[in-house]
Amino acid sequence: MIKYPDGTETCTGDVVSLAHGTVVGVVREVIDSSKQADAWGLEPDDLGLMVESKQFGLSFYPALFFNEGEIRFVSRAEN
């Protein structure tokens, strides 16, 4: 399980702020297994989030480097 810096569990569809709050993105996939990482062409231990934003397109954010300034949970998508 991957969590945001505030302790909230990550979910596909979450709205997040990036780059110290200057960009808004949507989590397209939570990569929390080596099988998922491999499917995205990442190293097996590269766990994190694929986030899509207008400014950056689809980008990978490794969980090991999460910090409050880089990625912050904003809201959960309604099912």
In a domain, 9, yes or no: no
- Burial grade of 30 (CB within 10 A; 0-12, 13-18, 19 or more): buried
Other beta carbons within 10 angstroms of residue 27's beta carbon come to 23
Q: Give the alpha-carbon dihedral of 24, 28, 33, 36, to 10 degrees.
A: -140
Model confidence, pTM: 0.89
In a domain, 7, yes or no: no
Q: What domain range is 26 assigned to? A: 15-75
pLDDT digits (tens, 9 = 90+) for 3-51: 998 899 999 999 999 988 889 999 999 999 999 999 999 998 899 999 9
Residues 6+ apart with CB under 8 A from 34: 44, 45
Number of domains in the chain: 1
